[in-house]
Amino acid sequence: MTEAERPGQGRRVLIVDDEPDLRELLSTSLSFAGFEVAVASNGNTALAQVADFAPDVVVLDVQMPDMDGFTVTRKVRARGHTMPIVFLTARDTTDDAVAGLTVGGDDYVTKPFSLAELVARIVAVLRRSDSTRVESPSLQVGDLVLDDDAHEVTRAGKTIDLSPTEFTLLRFLMENAGRVLSKSKILDHVWEYQWDGDGAIVETYMSYLRKKIDTPFDTPLLHTKRGVGYMVKDPS
Amino acid sequence: MTEAERPGQGRRVLIVDDEPDLRELLSTSLSFAGFEVAVASNGNTALAQVADFAPDVVVLDVQMPDMDGFTVTRKVRARGHTMPIVFLTARDTTDDAVAGLTVGGDDYVTKPFSLAELVARIVAVLRRSDSTRVESPSLQVGDLVLDDDAHEVTRAGKTIDLSPTEFTLLRFLMENAGRVLSKSKILDHVWEYQWDGDGAIVETYMSYLRKKIDTPFDTPLLHTKRGVGYMVKDPS
DNA sequence: GGCGATTCTCAGCAAACTCTCAGGATCAGG
DNA sequence: CCTGATCCTGAGAGTTTGCTGAGAATCGCC
């Protein structure tokens, strides 16, 4: 397996959340992304795990019954741990509350989020926190280039404007270039978890992407495998 | 027997289903595919078997009377087991019930399915869950190459477009290259189980395949053994 | 508040796909 | 060479799948 397919290869992540279902979802998908995973269901366990497991990054739900994310963060920092933290916040969390959280290399994601987006954020804070790990932040398929840091896509040198969803979808396809992805797999990764729509939305967005990425150029990069799914593929 | 002919060689699979007939069918055909097989008819037995038998992969029916597949999955994961799971779902299952099944290394197959398709999915999740097992994902017979990831077939470097059924049929033939397969055996593996049509459909699809794979080229790879069945064979 | 961008649903259309059938070709055995 | 069995293949009906434009609802930003 290549690096792009297992973006968390060799990295340790601690998941802190009181909801069993969400913990389970994150654990499964981050494991598969190549991370070594530990979980904690409350603040005290989290503090113990930070010391024992020595994670490279923490995913922390800020709304927990016994000890909120602010308190956990303060205690973690007070003990001298400096690893980045990705906070999970409710959509209605106020801006200044979030601003107070995300100092330094930290980041946050609002619930409900898409798995592809969360993994991308985790990988991003890891890259920023570790200057020794100079890893190309851009994906490339043929003459199509996606730069994650700049959040920019170009084809044949020409900048292409994408909406947030289009960008996440394209990144997921490019991370899996040369492999067919079913509509349900795309839904599960690119759309918010527990999304209850059907695959029609994926068809619509593939149509949007094609109009921007394939139609203005000679060689199509996006391919439909009827009855199976979609794929981006290097033409050579 | 070669690796390609026994795709499950040395791997352990646990089958969890409450329907005795389906359990029997799966047990038989996965054994034949080279898997070591254990079965369970309900959730509790399944949990015990996961611990005792230590399967590399689980095939799990999501609709069971005592404990549904999601509950079984949660309990399995809660105990720290990370092996991939292939879920069996009814075709009319609402989309939100299926949502989230394809995160991580898991996959799902809708009932009724074809055995060849199920085995292919099982092999695929196993390959992706185990990065140490660097195994070629493509089958090759002469200059004919079938790439399972890209769901793509080429002959002499030229891409050949196949429908889903044509693809499954060709893969089944190529997995058994050099061996004659009877029409009824092909029906049993490539078409949905309990298919009630006769072998005429196989003749039709062999004709489709020939038109795409043999007719445009010099050397025929698909051969008819009159009164016995069909075979694909390396010309050399 | 207003306006454009974005997200999502939906329905009509086009194309692909599956399967049946029947006439014709081919083969094996006598 | 005859004959029945087997297989091949083209035509076509019925179904499924995917594409796309239109429009409603929402979001974000001035």
- pLDDT tens, residue by residue, A212-222: 999 999 999 99
Q: How confident is the model at residue A5 (pLDDT cuts 50, 70, 90)?
A: low
pLDDT at A197: 87
- Asked if A103 is an interface residue toward chain B (Cβ–Cβ < 8 A), one would say no
CA distance B152 to B160: 7
Q: From chain B, pick out residues whose CB is under 8 angstroms from the CB of A32.
A: 103-105, 129
Does nucleic acid strand D have an atom less than 7 angstroms from the CB of A222?
no
Average pLDDT, rounded, for chain A: 91
Least confident of A23-37, A104-118, A124-138, B50-64: A124-138
Average pLDDT, stretch A63-86?
91
Task: Measure, in angstroms, how far nucleotide D11 C1' is from residue B208 CA.
Answer: 14
In this structure, the number of other CB atoms found within 10 A of the CB of residue B231 comes to 17
Phi-psi region of B15 (alpha: psi -120 to 50; beta: other; left: phi over 0): beta
Does nucleic acid strand C have an atom less than 7 angstroms from the CB of B164?
yes
Which nucleotides of chain C have an atom under 7 angstroms from any protein CB?
5-11, 16-22, 27-28
Which uninterrupted H or E stretch holds A89?
Answer: strand A85-90
CA distance A215 to B82: 42
Q: Are A61 and A69 in contact (CB under 8 A)?
A: yes
Q: How confident is the model at residue B2 (pLDDT cuts 50, 70, 90)?
A: very low
Determine the 3-state secondary structure of A209 from DSSP: helix
Q: Are B79 and B71 in contact (CB under 8 A)?
A: no
Which nucleotides of chain D have an atom under 7 angstroms from any protein CB?
6-11, 17-22
Query: What tens digit of pLDDT does each residue of B53-71 get?
Result: 999 999 999 988 888 888 9
For residue B201, give the amino acid letter: I
Selection from B116, B121, B123 nearest residue B195 by Cα = B116
Task: Measure, in angstroms, how far nucleotide D11 C1' is from residue B207 CA.
Answer: 14
- DSSP-derived secondary structure for B107-176: EEEEES-BHHHHHHHHHHHHHHH-TT-----EEEETTEEEETTTTEEEETTEEE---HHHHHHHHHHHHT
Cβ within 8 Å, pair B74-A29: no
- Asked if B92 is an interface residue toward chain A (Cβ–Cβ < 8 A), one would say no
- Asked if A12 is an interface residue toward chain B (Cβ–Cβ < 8 A), one would say no
Query: What tens digit of pLDDT does each residue of B195-224 get?
Result: 988 999 999 999 999 999 999 999 999 999
- Looking at the partner chain, which of A32, A195, A228 has a beta carbon nearest the beta carbon of B164? A228
